[in-house]
Structure formats: C-alpha cells, structure tokens
Amino acid sequence: MADKYEIGQLLQLKKKHPCGADKWEIVRLGADVKLKCSGCGRMVFLEREELTRRTKKILGRSEEKNNG
Ligand SMILES: [Zn+2]
C-alpha cells in the first residue's frame, strides 16, 4: 500500500496543540515523522503508527490556497 503521507502536507489532528492550532505540516518522513505546528512553529516527532491514530483529516499540501 502506498504511503499516504508526503512532505509539505497539512494534517488536522484530533487533539489541539496548547497554542490552539490543530494543523500540522509534515517536514520530514522517516521511521518517525517530523511535524511542525502551524500555530506556533513547534516541531514534534511521532511514529507513523501514532500519527495515523492521531490524524483526523489530511488537508492537502501547504502551498495550495484554499478559501473554503
Ligand atoms: Zn502550536
């Protein structure tokens, strides 16, 4: 099965970060996935399995504009 995650993708997670943002950008993919908070810029590492559990929605690539 192809990996659904790509660098630059924005994800909405089930739990909000303390800064109030719930959107994270993928900045590195490896055994662990590195995410950057869209609100405060904080970086975190999550295992892929953990990320899959925490992801609520995949929002698409960060460079795409969406006025929805
Ligand atoms: Zn944050």
Kindly report, residue by residue over 21-31, the tens digit of the pLDDT. 999 999 999 98
Q: Do the domain assignments include residue 39? A: yes
Q: What is the pTM of this model?
A: 0.82
Q: Do the domain assignments include residue 54? A: yes
Q: Which tokens belong to 25?
A: 């950008």
Cα 25 to middle of ligand 1, angstroms: 11
Cα 18 to middle of ligand 1, angstroms: 6
Looking at residue 62, what is its pLDDT? Answer: 67
- Residue 1: band (very low, low, confident or very high) from pLDDT cuts 50, 70, 90: very low
Q: Do the domain assignments include residue 25? A: yes
Please check the confidence at residue 44 and state whether its pLDDT lies above 50: yes
Higher pLDDT pick, 22 / 62: 22
Please check the confidence at residue 50 and state whether its pLDDT lies above 60: yes
Cα 20 to middle of ligand 1, angstroms: 6
Cα 21 to middle of ligand 1, angstroms: 6
Domain tally for the chain? 1
Q: Do the domain assignments include residue 2? A: no
Domain that holds residue 49: 9-59
Residue (of 27, 59, 58) closest to 43 by Cα position: 27
